[in-house]
Structure 1
Amino acid sequence: MSDDLANSEPVTLPPPQAEDVVIATEQLRSVEFPEVPQGLLAAVLDAEQGNPDNRAAAVRAIERIVDEHLSGGAANMEHVDSVVDVNLRGTQS
Protein backbone atom coordinates (compact mmCIF):
# COMPACT_ATOMS: atom_id res chain seq x y z
CA MET A 1 0.00 0.00 0.00
CA SER A 2 2.85 2.45 0.69
CA ASP A 3 4.04 1.89 -2.90
CA ASP A 4 0.63 3.08 -4.11
CA LEU A 5 0.96 6.30 -2.14
CA ALA A 6 4.54 6.89 -3.25
CA ASN A 7 3.58 6.53 -6.91
CA SER A 8 0.35 8.50 -6.80
CA GLU A 9 -0.06 12.06 -8.05
CA PRO A 10 0.08 14.81 -5.42
CA VAL A 11 -3.23 16.17 -4.25
CA THR A 12 -3.82 19.84 -4.99
CA LEU A 13 -6.03 21.62 -2.51
CA PRO A 14 -8.23 24.51 -3.63
CA PRO A 15 -7.10 27.98 -2.53
CA PRO A 16 -8.70 29.23 0.68
CA GLN A 17 -11.66 31.57 0.50
CA ALA A 18 -10.67 35.24 0.74
CA GLU A 19 -12.72 35.78 3.89
CA ASP A 20 -10.95 32.82 5.56
CA VAL A 21 -7.60 34.43 4.80
CA VAL A 22 -8.78 37.77 6.23
CA ILE A 23 -10.11 36.16 9.41
CA ALA A 24 -7.00 34.03 10.00
CA THR A 25 -4.64 36.90 9.28
CA GLU A 26 -6.58 39.26 11.55
CA GLN A 27 -6.54 36.73 14.38
CA LEU A 28 -2.78 36.39 14.03
CA ARG A 29 -2.32 40.19 13.83
CA SER A 30 -4.40 40.85 16.93
CA VAL A 31 -2.49 38.31 19.03
CA GLU A 32 1.06 38.54 17.70
CA PHE A 33 1.22 42.06 16.23
CA PRO A 34 -1.41 44.26 17.92
CA GLU A 35 0.63 47.38 17.10
CA VAL A 36 -0.02 46.84 13.37
CA PRO A 37 -3.21 48.74 12.49
CA GLN A 38 -6.13 46.66 11.28
CA GLY A 39 -6.57 49.01 8.31
CA LEU A 40 -2.98 48.48 7.20
CA LEU A 41 -3.51 44.73 7.20
CA ALA A 42 -6.76 45.09 5.26
CA ALA A 43 -5.12 47.34 2.66
CA VAL A 44 -2.23 44.89 2.19
CA LEU A 45 -4.61 41.96 1.79
CA ASP A 46 -6.68 43.94 -0.72
CA ALA A 47 -3.52 44.69 -2.72
CA GLU A 48 -2.63 41.00 -2.74
CA GLN A 49 -6.13 39.94 -3.78
CA GLY A 50 -6.34 42.66 -6.42
CA ASN A 51 -3.21 41.42 -8.17
CA PRO A 52 -3.34 37.61 -8.06
CA ASP A 53 -1.48 37.08 -11.33
CA ASN A 54 0.97 39.97 -11.14
CA ARG A 55 3.48 39.75 -8.29
CA ALA A 56 5.26 42.93 -9.37
CA ALA A 57 2.03 44.95 -9.29
CA ALA A 58 1.11 43.50 -5.89
CA VAL A 59 4.53 44.37 -4.47
CA ARG A 60 4.32 47.93 -5.84
CA ALA A 61 0.84 48.38 -4.36
CA ILE A 62 1.98 47.09 -0.98
CA GLU A 63 5.04 49.34 -1.06
CA ARG A 64 2.76 52.36 -1.65
CA ILE A 65 0.48 51.29 1.21
CA VAL A 66 3.37 50.84 3.63
CA ASP A 67 5.03 54.09 2.53
CA GLU A 68 1.77 55.97 3.10
CA HIS A 69 1.38 54.40 6.52
CA LEU A 70 4.97 55.19 7.54
CA SER A 71 4.71 58.78 6.32
CA GLY A 72 1.76 59.49 8.57
CA GLY A 73 -0.99 58.43 6.26
CA ALA A 74 -2.22 55.98 8.89
CA ALA A 75 -4.85 58.51 9.95
CA ASN A 76 -6.35 58.16 6.49
CA MET A 77 -6.77 54.43 7.11
CA GLU A 78 -8.99 54.77 10.21
CA HIS A 79 -12.17 54.28 8.19
CA VAL A 80 -10.75 50.97 6.91
CA ASP A 81 -10.25 49.82 10.52
CA SER A 82 -13.94 50.25 11.31
CA VAL A 83 -15.09 48.55 8.10
CA VAL A 84 -12.77 45.59 8.65
CA ASP A 85 -13.87 45.31 12.29
CA VAL A 86 -17.54 45.17 11.29
CA ASN A 87 -16.81 42.61 8.56
CA LEU A 88 -14.81 40.40 10.92
CA ARG A 89 -17.49 40.46 13.61
CA GLY A 90 -20.06 39.59 10.99
CA THR A 91 -18.17 36.54 9.74
CA GLN A 92 -16.85 35.07 12.99
CA SER A 93 -18.85 32.43 14.81
Structure 2
Amino acid sequence: MKVEILHIDECPSWVEAGARTRRALDALGLEGIEVEYALIRTEEDAAALPFAGSPTIVVDGEDLFPSDGRTTDLACRVYVTETGLAGLPSQTQLDAALAARR
Protein backbone atom coordinates (compact mmCIF):
# COMPACT_ATOMS: atom_id res chain seq x y z
CA MET A 1 0.00 0.00 0.00
CA LYS A 2 1.38 3.39 -0.98
CA VAL A 3 0.04 6.38 0.97
CA GLU A 4 0.73 9.97 -0.04
CA ILE A 5 -0.36 13.38 1.17
CA LEU A 6 -0.53 15.77 -1.80
CA HIS A 7 -0.27 19.35 -0.59
CA ILE A 8 0.67 22.93 -1.29
CA ASP A 9 2.95 24.97 0.97
CA GLU A 10 0.27 27.50 1.86
CA CYS A 11 -2.19 24.91 3.20
CA PRO A 12 -2.15 24.71 7.00
CA SER A 13 -3.88 21.30 7.16
CA TRP A 14 -1.41 18.99 5.44
CA VAL A 15 0.77 18.32 8.49
CA GLU A 16 -2.20 17.23 10.62
CA ALA A 17 -3.59 15.21 7.72
CA GLY A 18 -0.34 13.26 7.68
CA ALA A 19 -0.42 12.77 11.46
CA ARG A 20 -4.01 11.52 11.38
CA THR A 21 -3.22 9.21 8.49
CA ARG A 22 -0.26 7.82 10.44
CA ARG A 23 -2.49 7.20 13.49
CA ALA A 24 -5.08 5.43 11.32
CA LEU A 25 -2.45 3.19 9.73
CA ASP A 26 -0.96 2.35 13.12
CA ALA A 27 -4.40 1.49 14.52
CA LEU A 28 -4.85 -0.97 11.64
CA GLY A 29 -1.51 -2.62 12.42
CA LEU A 30 0.11 -1.09 9.33
CA GLU A 31 3.06 0.52 11.10
CA GLY A 32 5.37 -0.45 8.24
CA ILE A 33 3.49 1.65 5.69
CA GLU A 34 5.21 4.99 5.19
CA VAL A 35 3.20 8.18 4.78
CA GLU A 36 4.85 10.06 1.92
CA TYR A 37 4.43 13.73 1.12
CA ALA A 38 4.31 15.35 -2.31
CA LEU A 39 4.53 19.12 -2.60
CA ILE A 40 2.41 20.43 -5.47
CA ARG A 41 4.20 23.47 -6.85
CA THR A 42 2.54 24.08 -10.21
CA GLU A 43 -0.76 23.56 -12.00
CA GLU A 44 1.07 21.02 -14.17
CA ASP A 45 2.04 19.05 -11.04
CA ALA A 46 -1.59 19.09 -9.92
CA ALA A 47 -2.86 17.98 -13.34
CA ALA A 48 -0.57 14.94 -13.31
CA LEU A 49 -1.94 13.64 -9.99
CA PRO A 50 -5.36 12.87 -8.46
CA PHE A 51 -5.25 16.28 -6.75
CA ALA A 52 -8.48 17.71 -5.35
CA GLY A 53 -6.97 20.49 -3.28
CA SER A 54 -4.59 20.44 -0.35
CA PRO A 55 -4.40 18.06 1.39
CA THR A 56 -5.44 15.18 -0.85
CA ILE A 57 -4.80 11.78 0.70
CA VAL A 58 -3.91 9.24 -1.97
CA VAL A 59 -3.76 5.47 -1.49
CA ASP A 60 -2.30 3.39 -4.30
CA GLY A 61 -2.80 6.26 -6.74
CA GLU A 62 -6.44 6.99 -5.86
CA ASP A 63 -7.97 9.77 -3.77
CA LEU A 64 -9.01 8.20 -0.45
CA PHE A 65 -12.01 10.57 -0.43
CA PRO A 66 -13.05 10.68 -4.09
CA SER A 67 -15.11 13.61 -5.25
CA ASP A 68 -15.85 15.59 -8.36
CA GLY A 69 -13.39 18.15 -7.05
CA ARG A 70 -10.25 17.23 -8.98
CA THR A 71 -8.46 20.48 -9.74
CA THR A 72 -5.30 22.06 -11.02
CA ASP A 73 -5.86 25.06 -8.74
CA LEU A 74 -3.24 25.38 -6.04
CA ALA A 75 -5.80 25.72 -3.27
CA CYS A 76 -6.83 24.21 0.03
CA ARG A 77 -9.41 21.44 0.08
CA VAL A 78 -12.57 21.39 2.16
CA TYR A 79 -13.94 18.13 3.58
CA VAL A 80 -17.44 17.46 4.89
CA THR A 81 -16.99 15.97 8.37
CA GLU A 82 -19.37 14.92 11.11
CA THR A 83 -18.83 18.32 12.75
CA GLY A 84 -19.14 20.40 9.58
CA LEU A 85 -16.73 21.64 6.93
CA ALA A 86 -13.03 21.25 7.73
CA GLY A 87 -9.63 21.46 6.08
CA LEU A 88 -9.03 17.73 6.52
CA PRO A 89 -11.02 14.57 7.24
CA SER A 90 -11.70 13.64 10.84
CA GLN A 91 -9.79 10.85 12.51
CA THR A 92 -12.95 8.72 12.40
CA GLN A 93 -13.29 9.27 8.65
CA LEU A 94 -9.65 8.40 8.03
CA ASP A 95 -9.87 5.28 10.18
CA ALA A 96 -12.94 4.05 8.28
CA ALA A 97 -11.62 4.94 4.81
CA LEU A 98 -8.27 3.21 5.37
CA ALA A 99 -9.94 0.16 6.94
CA ALA A 100 -12.14 -0.13 3.85
CA ARG A 101 -9.04 0.00 1.59
CA ARG A 102 -7.19 -2.65 3.54
TM range, normalised to the smaller chain? 0.3 to 0.5
Q: TM-score, normalised by structure 2?
A: 0.30
Greater CA radius of gyration, 1 or 2? 1
Higher helix share: 1
